[in-house]
Structure 1
Amino acid sequence: MPLDALVAVGDALCGSWSPWPEARERAPTDIEEHLAASGRARGVGSARRALTHVRVGVESPKETELRLLLVRGGLPEPEINTKTYDGAGRYLGKPDLRYPDEQVLIEYEGDEHRRDPGRWRRDIRRRERFADAGWRTIRVTAADLRGAPARELVSRVRRSLSG
């Protein structure tokens, strides 16, 4: 399997969408122990490399893809799906990725975000709450994850982080 696919599998095991919620937090350790016991079996080296990129709390394969794109583009590792509050303690939401010091959040929006009217309205209200609290939202779709649009996305996030 390609490295990114292995990372996505690892993120799935550690994510909220894992079919084994009781195993989420310990999944990285369990995987590492299994790999250590596997010796030099075929694919173990790739799996070990992938494990260094696996993160607990990822909620979709596209979040994994987006996070890897940003980090490989030279940006700092963003926080993943972190509950966020304004200065008065009011809950704003849980963005896919965020850079709290710069108040920049990045939201991956799949087709379900536009096809489901209720979700679309909730997304708008959440974006407005973040904007009112001084956060910048960068919206991302599948088309932004490859080629020239991906390079532009990394540049846009970099500009947002630097001022």
Structure 2
Amino acid sequence: MSMLLDVLAMTMNNVKEILSPAYNNTKTFLINELAATGVSCYQFDENLVRQGLISCLEQESDNIIYPKLTLTYELPFTYYHRKKVYAFDAGWEYLANEECNKIQFYLRDASNVCTIIDAVMISSLLEQIPDLWQKGEDENGIYMELNIDASFTEEKFSQCLTDYKEYVLKPFIAYLGNKKISQN
């Protein structure tokens, strides 16, 4: 068991070396984009940060434990207005289980009573993501994926991150800016 844990720790340290440096860069990118589009009311929420959070194993409702490994980098942004919480999470997650081995970039609506990422926005963002990446929507937002296989490199991760910023985050923040302008 200790050898298995050593291998797991070494592997996760190697993966973190690739994924972690992008965190502060992406945080700065988001803060600058929000300011540039006039929606700096969305503030980075230090209380909800998940930077390099590792979880291992998953227990289903049938009380069986399944092998699953995740490494999460989440950038939460929140805006409080008239007792409503407008919030979104951007980030990426390394996911490995019996079915997949991938990095999934995501944008999720984390608002409480209202919605800031609607079906029209999701559809628009999905159309913009290059076909080079797998993409889709889930219950709270969208994702784009990079499969981890023999062709995986740091450069491939960097390209996927660049496309994520350009085709998902930038248009979404521009949308928030337009939405705010139309509400005034």
TM class, shorter-length = under 0.3
Higher relative contact order (CA 8 A, sep 6+): 1
TM-score, normalised on structure 1? 0.27
Q: More helix per residue: 1 or 2?
A: 1
TM-score, normalised on structure 2? 0.25
Q: More strand per residue: 1 or 2?
A: 2
